[in-house]
A and B are shown apart, each in its own frame.
Chain A
Amino acid sequence: MREQVVMVGSELPLVGVLCEPENNPAPNVAVILLNSGVIHRVGSCRLSVTLARNLCEKAGLATFRFDFSGIGDSEARRGTLTAAQAAVDEVQEVMDYLSQWKQFDRFILYGLCSGAFASYRTALSDTRVMATVQLDGYCYMTWKSHLLRYAPKLLSLTRWSQFILRKLGLRKTRKGAEVSGIEERYFEVPGFAGYPPKEEVTEGLRVLNDRKLQMLYVFFGHEYYVYQDQFQDCFRPVVFGDNLTVIHRPHATHILSEPEDRASVVDAITQWAAQLVHQPQP
């Protein structure tokens, strides 16, 4: 494995690290790892570094992890695009750069949370994207997830008493600085754009599915993803084939701070990617 620091673009470059295997059995494919929120390219709990090196050493894939402009080591770029639009542009800029420099022509995009959303949107805009790995990507509640989430609460006396106290104004729901104890001006959190309408994502997934984009989704144990098949149920009109894999880790947190879950997710992604690029092409 060989790593080198790369600056993409001459003015206000995007800072990244290219990781290449000694012998590259998939010389035209690269995995690009995207930022999640405001965390720099190392990734939550160093997940992106661990995954990038694992993919390189165990799946024989070149990887590139980088910072979007205004995050981590990349300078902010002023412009008229929203952060979400600029992210797609910057991923395409990176793909152009890597194509020209290293002759990669197919890309696997990886992201957690906002990184997952960016990988989805880029895949819609660019057919060089052959696969996405999305950790806690777009998904919506279904009737079954509502039932599984709220039924236990309906049967809980504690929940009812808390609900009544809140309604009576006797118990306050703590938010933001009240939870962290840190004034907002001293604590930067991602300014997430709202979820797009479900119909829009369903249509997007239909397009990607028709294109046979390979998709790996991993959902963690937050309260909005409640059961294994929620993704397929949510986007039911879309008939996914074996191009979709969904993993649910109900005991893992969104930032994967649990060492056991982190290791198992890294292994699962690596195995999936290895199988994907090393399977005989039709």
Chain B
Amino acid sequence: MEAFYFGPSEHYLFGVFHPRQGPSRNEAVVLCHPFGQEYMRAHKSVRRLAINLAALGYPVLRFDYRGTGDSAGDLTGVTAEDWIEDIGFAVQEVMDMAAVSKVALVGLRLGGLIAARAAAKHDCVSRLVLWDPITDGASYVNDIRAAITEAQTEGSRSRLITQDGTMHFNGFCMPRAFQDSLSTLNLTDLAPSLHVPVAQIVSHEADEFSAVRDQFADRAAFHSELAPAPHNWNYVDHVGGILWPKPVIDAIEQYFGQARA
């Protein structure tokens, strides 16, 4: 494992590279995090997935988008398009490090939607794995706004919207520019431009996951799987507990394990 900074100097990105441990494969994996408190809760799971995929022979890079984790800056002035660009930097980085020509993207929650946009944009992306994906940016933003509005009736000081429109949700903020750019993204619109195999691996049933299944059902290279596991990424306890949905991690590992080395 190697931890390092990469990307442009003005908004450097924190990354952790897991070199392949098993049979050599000409495909690397980039793992794409969710947003905010969900990122905190998912760190251990994403790291475990990286270790397991590396053991299968995939070089893996996980990283923090700009304005998050150990990467540069905060989210002031950052848009969803910037995060899509960051995935592009991560893809290039892992291709250089592992000397491979193809990269699979795995995205959890908001990371799934962002990764889908990046997959449509980069020819070197070989497949896309959606883990409990956010399928519609506008709905996601509206859901957070609704949760804040509801919390405000109880006088919440951690869920609020400031005058400039920034949403503060469970200790993380989402500025207006990010909300606006995110609201333009949805999987339905992106689907026609996704020309790579897509897998949707989910921890529970939901209408939006069914819609994705229906939309991709006629594609030969579509894999859908339910691996029941807890999924309340925004449950916030008072000690910073971490969600550990092992069945989904195992299912994603098995999906990658089925591909021939």
Binding site for B on A (CB under 8 A): 3-5, 7, 15, 17, 36-42, 44-46, 49-50, 72-73, 75, 113, 179-183, 185-190, 222, 251, 253-262
A180 touching B237 in the complex, CB below 8 Å, given contacts A186-B244, A259-B168: yes
By secondary structure, the B interface counts as loop
B107-130 to A contact mask, C-beta < 8 Å, 1/0: 000000000000000000000000
**Residues in A neighbouring B240, C-beta threshold 8 A:** 36-39, 44, 190, 255
Bound CA–CA A38/B236 (angstroms): 14
Cα of A146 to Cα of B23 in the assembled complex, Å: 63
Chain A: minimal CB distance from B18 (Å): 11
B12 on interface, CB distance cutoff 8 Å: yes
Residues from chain B with a CB closer than 8 A to the CB of A256 are 171
Nearest chain-B residue to A251 (Cβ)?
B157
The residue in chain A whose Cβ has the minimal distance to the Cβ of B159 is A257
- Which B residues, 8 to 52, have Cβ-Cβ distances below 8 Å to chain A? 12, 14, 16, 37, 40, 43-44, 47
Q: Would you call A257 and B229 a contact (CB within 8 A)?
A: no
Contacts of B236 in A (CB 8 A): 255, 257
- Contact sample, A vs B, 10 pairs, CB 8 Å cutoff: A7-B2, A15-B16, A46-B172, A180-B232, A180-B241, A189-B241, A254-B239, A258-B157, A259-B162, A259-B168
| Tally of contact residues, B, Cβ under 8 A | 42
Given known A-B contacts A37-B240, A42-B69, A181 and B235 have beta carbons under 8 A apart: yes
Shortest distance from the beta carbon of B222 to any chain A beta carbon, whole Å: 27
Name B residues whose Cβ lies closer than 8 Å to a Cβ of A.
1-5, 12, 14, 16, 37, 40, 43-44, 47, 68-70, 72, 74, 157-158, 160, 162, 168, 170-173, 229-230, 232, 235-246
Smallest Cβ-Cβ distance to A6: which chain B residue:
B3
- Assuming A180-B235, A255-B239, is B230 touching A186 (CB within 8 A)? yes
A257 to B40, Cβ gap below 8 A? Answer: no
